[in-house]
């Protein structure tokens, strides 16, 4: 890392690069305007009132933060009143012990901005105005977008002036050159198309603030600029690396140091590699440079996922695993294109050329360029099983086979899924009450439809649900099948009594189940079969369901920053997997919490085989905790690389690693000061262990540490 | 045909190349005093009782048909002990059952140049079964390794040579008297078998456990080195440091344990240099 980047890194990590928000005194007569016009007026005034964050070491600028007084970005949705209300009511407070509300995720259509510039978007807005000439609402919205485009360009020009002024006062020749280049470039981009790698990165840098979530597939949309400049000699690899590092530092600076999220990679996440529209693997020289650039930085945000394909060279996968094991901040995860692309093309029905453009965002959500991912709220998937067992006892007693039992359970499952989807629509309606001006120009469809992104403007949109407690459901079903029906070691009546008594007085039965149970994660056929049956049920129910915007649902299993597994668990009675009433659920797929005893290959086989329909195609996480020895020792590391490569070849959808022993984690709970640097993968994100809430800490501890 | 096996360990990194499944046969004709798998020595299934885990709750006694006075190895006590203080070591398997387990990880072997390792105990003591299972593995295109102390008639090696890709062959110490003192048997036939095995051009990895005060001197290892140099050289020589992780298992089967110091990393580095 050179001196310039080192200085910028220091001020980034000290929190100084977080843009200062300048409050604006709005004209109270604005209130007489229509909501859309008022929003546009105020948001433009806000943008133009901000001061560019610029230091003499900077070669880029334009980063800004919305303060909540105006409608801001689509991720945090600051200033969006309806969303903020919904968040307050439902984000941390599950409804009916079943549903919650989550953020939305997205990535801008950066490729288009680079190619056409904001002026190109403005031309499209004008064309759309003609098309919607009769539609007053659309005309008003499109007018707001035009105003926003003007403000955005005005902001770039303001940044340009400031860079020029600073260039005059700096004493360092190199810095002066950088600032003059910056000033010149901002007269051109983002208004006009980018022509060099530097201009392209600067465009992304400046526009990120309006859709501040993921930079998307940057190793694709920046690649042609990189290649061209390297070939014509105007760019060196080192320069490219510097620009990328400055971009990454801005992503880190987008979160205030006062927030615990400053240390959480999930605040900004992007993917590299993956299939290209021509069917080839897309990991290129720039992908590698991006990883190297990030690994040089001691930051937390962004995090990267490698999109693995069957064509990913083994050397590339090894390189990523090597970076992963050496990264103290745990910023690398792995996702498998094979099941993902299959799900997007076959289940969602997307054309292949679009499906291959997905990126990973947030903790582990999915987004497409210029597309939005709504929902992904955490839902209680154990409730229907608990209802079956605790409320349908009489019906269960007359079941003579597991199939009879499953039919009753499946009805309850479908009823809960139906309720979940109803609430998802209600949440989407709440989202749609706000109009979004600053993000809409970066989404596909909003300009042409004359509609805001959450009001049905975005043509590329997905909705998702995260089902919390999948391991509990699979294990419980496996226990019922094995003990009550296959091996007949106990009757349904005995099981129901034990559950009703919360296992009290039935400790022997509990011990027997814990020891003899065919639990998930051991690659035994009975539990694998139950897992497939359960995911099959999800598929059959959801396959013909659509959200109010006409989207099919992507399904995941991750937890956000909060404690849904604890909240849901607290209100859910005992379950046959040995869970007592009130105990937290498990989430993720590799987290069998001590039930997996056969080693890593068995666990990974169970995970890879559990979902033949690819219904777990959304934010699906597989957290694997392994003994550090499996990667520290070079010979073992090479085998671990092959182990996970085989898992991906077998169809495993995702994995991320934590290397730590249970004992260390317990010690860290007791003595947080001594373990304040210990980082773990939590859900789809990494964090300092001691900063996690108790329920998340307990979940990480409960995972099995695989020693082989 | 059945074999008594006390563990099938998947995803093993330490018993040969690549990712492997290691099948541990029960029964051994050596009694190495440092053995870290003392439960592997008896050829029969046996009850293991971990006293330190037992809370005296009495669940085992409640379930035992013989009131814990005599063990018929029915296993009921192990199922109801809430603290994992009891387990039965050793179970009979058919060739089919073992192959089914082995095949589960075939994809991992194929991608890592790994395979299956038959170990023990002394797997060669159940030679009929071993021969069958090795054949089955080869039919399924799986790389095979046999981990042996070599204290069997050479005819056994001849029976499995065709189906074995690699031998992991232990040399405990060079001097036969000392060998007898620490393992119960002299090593003449072991070294003779190794010499003959090496002439077959089969891949052989030599494994030498490093036991302080027994064989951890440069002099001892030099002797082994000279012996190996006089034969067809083996592919690889691994020095395995003594570890005390088997200690609790001695107590669990009611045997006296003899403890050794764990060799330091520096010492291991120094000794490894002899062979580099």
* pLDDT of res. A382: 98
**Residues B121 and B148 reside in one and the same domain:** yes
Neighbours of A213 (CB within 10 A): 30
Report the domain count for chain B.
2
State which residues form the domain around A164.
1-65+112-209
Cβ contact A511–B59 (<8 Å): yes
Q: Considering only CA atoms, which of B64, B62, B57, B65 is closest in space to residue B83?
A: B57
Partner B contacted by A639 (CB < 8 A): yes
Range of the domain at B19: 2-45+91-275
**Which residues from B are below 8 Å from A630, CB to CB?**
13
Q: Is A318 on the interface with B (CB under 8 A)?
A: no
ipTM (interface predicted TM) = 0.95
Domain match, B147 and B253 both: yes
* pLDDT tens over chain B, length 276 residues: 999 999 999 999 999 999 999 999 999 999 999 999 999 999 999 999 999 889 999 999 999 999 999 999 999 999 999 888 999 999 999 999 999 999 999 999 999 999 999 999 999 999 999 999 999 999 999 999 999 999 999 999 999 999 999 999 999 999 999 999 999 999 999 999 999 999 998 999 999 999 999 999 999 999 999 999 988 878 899 999 998 888 889 999 999 999 899 999 999 999 999 998
Q: Is residue A332 part of a domain?
A: no
| A511:B80 CB<8 A | yes
B133 and B184 share a domain?
Answer: yes
Reduced 3-state DSSP string for B186-230? CCHHHHHHHHHHHHCCCEEEEEEEECCCCCCCHHHHHHHHHHHHH
Chain B CA closest to residue A509: B80
| A584: CB partners within 8 A, 6+ apart | A563, A565, A566, A568, A569, A570, A695, A698, A699
B114 touches chain A (CB under 8 A): yes
B140 three-state secondary structure? coil
Q: At what angle do helices A634-649 and A314-326 cross, to 10 degrees?
A: 120
CB contact under 8 A, B18 and A642: yes
Out of B10, B81, B110, closest to residue A601 by CB? B10
Of B79, B80, B112, which is closest to A642 when you measure between CB atoms?
B112
Which residue of chain A is at minimal alpha-carbon distance from B86?
Answer: A515
DSSP of A374-424: EEEEEEESSHHHHHHHHH-HHHHHT--SHHHHHHHHHHHHHHHHHHHHHHH
Is A649 within the bounds of a domain? no
Flag whether A578 is in a domain.
no
Q: B272 contacts in A (CB within 8 Å)?
A: none
Domain boundary among B58, B88, B118: B88
For residue A598, which residues of chain B lie inside 8 Å, CB to CB?
A: 10
> In chain A, what residues touch B12 (CB-CB under 8 Å)?
708
Q: Is B13–A649 a contact, with Cβ atoms under 8 angstroms apart?
A: no
Residue A152 within a domain: yes
Interface test with A, best of B7, B77, B86, B108 (most A CBs within 10 A): B108
- Residue numbers in B near A636 (CB within 8 A): 13
Contact A630/B at CB under 8 A: yes
My answer on whether B75 and B118 are in the same domain is no
Whether the CB of B79 is below 8 Å from some CB of chain A: the reply is yes
Structurally, how many domains does chain A consist of?
Answer: 1
pLDDT in tens, A191-248: 999 999 999 999 999 999 999 999 999 999 999 999 999 999 999 999 999 999 999 9
Q: Are residues B73 and B115 in the same domain?
A: no
Q: Let me know whether B152 and B205 are in one domain.
A: yes
Minimal Cα–Cα distance from B23 to chain A, Å?
A: 13
Q: Who contacts A18 (Cβ-Cβ below 8 Å, separation ≥6)? A: A65, A253, A254, A255, A256, A257
Whether B130 and B176 map to the same domain: the answer is: yes
Indicate which CATH number applies to the domain containing B113.
3.20.20.70
DSSP state of A275: B
Residue A130 lies in a domain: yes
Q: Is A341 on the interface with B (CB under 8 A)?
A: no
- Pairwise CB contact (< 8 Å): A605 & B13: no
A122 occurs within a structural domain = yes
Give the CATH number, domain containing residue B55. 3.30.70
| CA atoms of B188 and A523, how far apart (whole Å) | 44
- Identify all chain B residues contacting A511, using CB atoms and an 8 Å cutoff: 59, 79-82
**pLDDT band per the 50, 70, 90 thresholds, residue A684:** low
Give the mutation candidate from B7, B10, B64, B85 for the A interface (greatest A CB count, under 10 A). B10
Of A515, A598, A650, the CB nearest to B107: A650
Q: Is residue A345 part of a domain?
A: no
Question: d(Cα B248, Cα B59) in Å, to the nearest integer?
Answer: 22
Output DSSP code: residue B10. E
Q: List CB contacts (< 8 A) between A627 and chain B.
A: none
Shared domain check, B231 and B107: yes
| pLDDT over 90 (residue A551) | no
Chain A residues within 8 A of B13 when measuring between CB atoms: 630, 635-636, 639, 708
* Domain identity same for B103 and B236: yes
Q: pLDDT tier at A156 (50, 70, 90 boundaries)?
A: very high
Torsion angle defined by CA atoms of residues A285, A287, A290 and A294, in that order, rounded to the nearest 10 degrees: -130
Same domain as B199, residue B152: yes
Q: Are B34 and B77 found together in one domain?
A: no
Domain identity same for B40 and B97: yes
Residue A233 lies in a domain: no
Residue A187 has pLDDT above 70, yes or no: yes
Of residues B32 and A697, more confidently modeled: B32
CB within 8 Å: A512 and B111: no
Q: Which of A507, A516, A523 sits opposite B104 (nearest CB)?
A: A523
Other CB atoms within 10 Å distance of the CB of residue B65: 10
H/E element, B236: strand B236-241
Chain B residue nearest residue A609, CA to CA: B104
Do B104 and A599 make contact, defined as CB atoms within 8 angstroms?
no
Interface membership of A516 toward B (CB under 8 Å) = yes
B11:A643 CB<8 A: yes
Q: Is A489 touching B (CB cutoff 8 A)? A: no
Tokens of A245: 């590092």
Q: Give the other-Cβ count within 10 Å of A410's Cβ.
A: 17
């Amino acid at each position: 890392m050179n001196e310039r980047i080192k200085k910028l890194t220091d001020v980034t990590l000290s929190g100084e690069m977080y843009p200062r928000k300048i409050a604006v005194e709005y004209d109270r007569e604005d209130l007489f305007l229509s909501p859309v016009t008022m929003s546009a007026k105020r948001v433009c005034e806000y943008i133009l009132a901000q001061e560019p964050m610029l230091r003499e070491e900077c070669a880029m600028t334009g980063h800004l933060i919305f303060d909540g007084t105006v409608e801001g970005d689509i991720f945090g949705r600051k200033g969006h009143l309806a969303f903020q209300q919904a968040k307050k009511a439902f984000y941390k407070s599950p409804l009916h012990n079943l549903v919650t509300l989550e953020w939305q995720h997205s990535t801008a259509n950066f490729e288009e901005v680079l190619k056409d510039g904001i002026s190109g978007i403005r031309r499209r807005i004008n064309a759309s105005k003609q098309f919607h000439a009769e539609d007053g609402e659309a005309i008003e919205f499109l007018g707001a977008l035009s105003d926003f485009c003007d403000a955005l360009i005005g902001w770039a020009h303001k940044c340009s002036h400031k860079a020029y002024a600073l260039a005059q006062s700096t004493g360092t020749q190199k810095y002066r050159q950088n600032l003059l280049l910056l000033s010149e470039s901002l007269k051109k981009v983002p208004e006009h198309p980018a022509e060099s790698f530097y201009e392209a990165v600067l465009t992304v840098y400046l526009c990120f603030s309006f859709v501040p979530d993921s930079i998307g597939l940057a190793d694709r949309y920046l690649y042609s600029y990189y290649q061209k400049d390297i070939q014509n000699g105007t760019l060196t690899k080192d320069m490219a690396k510097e620009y990328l590092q400055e971009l990454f530092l801005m992503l880190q600076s987008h979160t205030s140091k006062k927030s615990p999220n400053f240390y959480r990679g999930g605040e900004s996440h992007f993917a590299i590699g993956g299939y290209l529209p021509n069917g080839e693997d897309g990991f290129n020289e720039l992908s590698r440079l991006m990883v190297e650039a990030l690994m040089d930085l001691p930051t937390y945000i962004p995090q990267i996922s490698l999109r693995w394909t069957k064509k990913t060279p083994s050397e590339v996968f090894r390189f990523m695993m090597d970076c992963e094991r050496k990264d103290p901040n745990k910023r690398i995860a792995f996702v498998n294109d094979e099941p993902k692309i299959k799900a997007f093309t076959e289940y969602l029905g997307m054309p292949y050329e679009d499906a291959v453009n997905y990126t990973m965002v947030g903790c582990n959500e999915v987004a497409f360029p210029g597309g939005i991912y709504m929902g992904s709220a955490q839902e209680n998937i154990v409730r229907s099983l608990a209802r079956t067992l605790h409320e349908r006892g009489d019906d269960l007693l007359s079941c003579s086979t597991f199939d009879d039992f499953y039919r009753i359970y499946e009805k309850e499952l479908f009823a809960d899924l139906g309720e979940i989807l109803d609430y998802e629509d209600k949440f989407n309606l709440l989202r749609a009450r706000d109009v979004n001006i600053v993000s809409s120009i970066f989404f596909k469809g909003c300009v042409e439809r004359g509609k805001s992104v959450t009001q049905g403007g975005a043509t590329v949109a997905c909705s998702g649900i995260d089902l919390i407690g999948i391991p509990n459901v699979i294990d419980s079903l496996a226990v019922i099948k094995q003990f009550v029906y296959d091996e007949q070691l106990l009757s349904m009546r005995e099981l129901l009594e034990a559950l009703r008594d919360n296992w009290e007085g039935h400790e022997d039965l509990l011990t027997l189940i814990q020891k003899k149970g065919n639990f998930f994660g051991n690659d035994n056929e009975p539990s694998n079969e139950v897992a497939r049956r359960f995911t099959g049920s999800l598929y059959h129910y959801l396959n013909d369901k659509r959200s109010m915007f006409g989207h099919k649902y992507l399904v995941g299993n991750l937890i956000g920053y909060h404690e849904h597994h604890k909240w849901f668990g607290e209100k859910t009675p005992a379950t046959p997997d040995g869970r007592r009433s009130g105990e937290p659920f498990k989430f993720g797929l590799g987290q069998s919490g001590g039930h997996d005893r056969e080693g890593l290959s068995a666990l990974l086989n169970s995970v890879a085989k559990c979902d033949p329909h690819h219904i777990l195609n959304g934010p699906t996480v597989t957290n694997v905790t392994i003994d550090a020895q499996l990667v520290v020792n070079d010979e073992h590391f090479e085998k671990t690389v092959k182990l996970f490569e085989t898992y991906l070849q077998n169809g495993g959808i995702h994995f991320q690693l934590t290397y730590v022993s249970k004992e260390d984690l317990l010690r860290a709970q007791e003595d947080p000061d001594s373990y304040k640097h210990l980082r773990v993968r939590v859900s789809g994100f990494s964090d300092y262990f001691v900063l996690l809430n108790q329920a998340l800490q307990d979940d990480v501890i409960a995972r099995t540490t695989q020693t082989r | 045909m059945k074999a008594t096996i006390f563990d099938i360990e998947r995803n093993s990194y330490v018993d040969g190349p690549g990712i492997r499944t290691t099948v541990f046969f029960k029964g051994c004709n050596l009694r190495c005093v440092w053995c870290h798998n003392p439960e592997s020595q008896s050829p029969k299934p046996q009850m293991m009782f971990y006293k330190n885990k037992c809370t005296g709750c009495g669940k085992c006694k409640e379930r035992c048909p013989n009131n814990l006075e005599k063990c018929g190895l029915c296993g009921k006590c192990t199922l109801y002990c809430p603290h994992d203080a009891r387990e039965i070591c050793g179970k009979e398997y058919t060739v089919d059952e073992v192959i089914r387990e082995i095949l589960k990880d075939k994809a991992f072997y194929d991608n890592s140049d790994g395979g299956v390792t038959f170990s023990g105990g002394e797997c060669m003591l159940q030679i009929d079964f071993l021969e069958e299972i090795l054949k089955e593995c080869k039919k399924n295109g799986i790389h095979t390794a046999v981990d042996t102390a070599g204290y069997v008639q050479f005819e056994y090696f001849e029976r499995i040579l065709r189906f074995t890709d690699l031998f992991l062959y232990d040399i405990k110490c060079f001097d036969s008297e000392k060998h007898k003192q620490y393992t119960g048997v002299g090593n003449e036939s072991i070294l003779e078998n190794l010499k003959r095995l090496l002439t077959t051009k089969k891949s052989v990895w030599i494994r030498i456990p490093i036991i302080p005060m027994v064989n951890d001197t440069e002099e001892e290892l030099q002797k082994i080195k000279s012996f190996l140099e006089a034969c067809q050289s083996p592919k690889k020589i691994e020095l395995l440091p003594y570890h005390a992780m088997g200690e609790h298992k001695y107590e669990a089967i009611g045997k006296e344990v003899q403890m050794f110091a764990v060799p330091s990393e520096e010492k291991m580095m120094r000794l490894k240099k002899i062979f580099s």
